[in-house]
């Protein structure tokens, strides 16, 4: 029988999973505290609790890593979050910069039947409105080969698959330059000094983007 965990515990597991996708090895307390905007001492106490429940493997020196059970629970929360974001955009006409905070609340709903029906209603989507992969009911992620646009060294054509930055300011900036998921991006020029780029989105007039923007655009060939 699956053990009950609190909303706060779910948030910790999701955070550890997210950080583990960005770096190798165990996750330090400070990294978790910074991402959750809380005191490191509070993080330590919660990690001890999660360790006792066998949801993480933790010690004060090395940090925390999810156990198989902890990873399964983290992926379940992520699945719900991304399905709700997709529902809000596709069915309720929210914009992609409006949905994160609402999905943060909805992701803690515990009804498995509701989530199965939501998935079915949406046509079993594999990616959310930000291009992030949606785990299936078994916790399996669809494969997507992407890389940050900033890593491109020569002009060429690419496809926008996702974004690494989900902040309202960044998404609204992309709306302003009329860039969205699945757009064709043609890199026209790359500035040697700061790696800013001149790009063409679709067939529109070329625009200049900063290296910070290029770092957060996930593309494929």
What residue spans define the domains of the chain?
7-66, 78-138, 147-220
Does residue 4 surpass a pLDDT of 90? Answer: no
Name the CATH code of domain 147-220 (choices 3.40.50.970, 2.30.30.90, 3.30.1330.90, 3.40.190.10): 2.30.30.90
Which three-class secondary structure state does DSSP give residue 144? Answer: coil
The sheet with strand 217-220 has its strands ordered as 147-148, 217-220, 156-163, 184-190, 197-201, 207-209
Say which CATH architecture domain 7-66 belongs to.
Orthogonal Bundle (1.10)
Domain 78-138 has CATH 1.10.10.10: yes
Does residue 207 surpass a pLDDT of 80? Answer: yes
pLDDT in tens, 14-31: 999 999 988 888 999 999
Question: Fold identical between 7-66 and 78-138?
Answer: yes
Contact 176, 182 (CB under 8 A): no
Does residue 217 surpass a pLDDT of 60? Answer: yes
pLDDT band for 79, please (50, 70, 90 cuts): very high
């Amino acid at each position: 029988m699956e053990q009950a965990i609190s909303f706060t515990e779910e948030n910790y597991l999701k955070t550890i999973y997210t950080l583990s996708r960005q770096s190798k090895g165990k996750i330090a307390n400070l990294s978790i505290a910074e991402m959750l905007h809380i005191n490191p001492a509070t993080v330590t106490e919660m990690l001890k609790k999660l360790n006792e429940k066998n949801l993480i493997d933790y010690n004060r020196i090395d940090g925390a890593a999810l156990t198989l059970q902890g990873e399964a629970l983290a992926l379940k929360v992520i699945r719900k979050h991304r399905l709700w974001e997709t529902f809000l955009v596709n069915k309720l006409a929210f914009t992609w910069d409006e949905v994160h905070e609402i999905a943060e609340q909805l992701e803690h709903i515990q009804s498995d039947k509701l989530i199965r029906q939501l998935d079915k209603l949406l046509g079993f989507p594999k990616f959310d409105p930000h291009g992030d992969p949606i785990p299936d009911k078994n916790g399996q992620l669809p494969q997507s080969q992407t890389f940050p646009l900033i890593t491109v060294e020569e002009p060429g054509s690419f496809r926008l698959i996702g974004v690494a930055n989900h902040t309202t300011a960044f998404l609204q900036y992309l709306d302003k330059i009329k860039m969205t998921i699945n757009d064709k991006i043609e890199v026209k020029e790359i500035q040697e000094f700061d790696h800013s780029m001149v790009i063409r989105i679709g067939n529109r007039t070329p625009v200049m983007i900063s290296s910070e923007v290029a770092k957060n655009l996930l593309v494929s060939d």
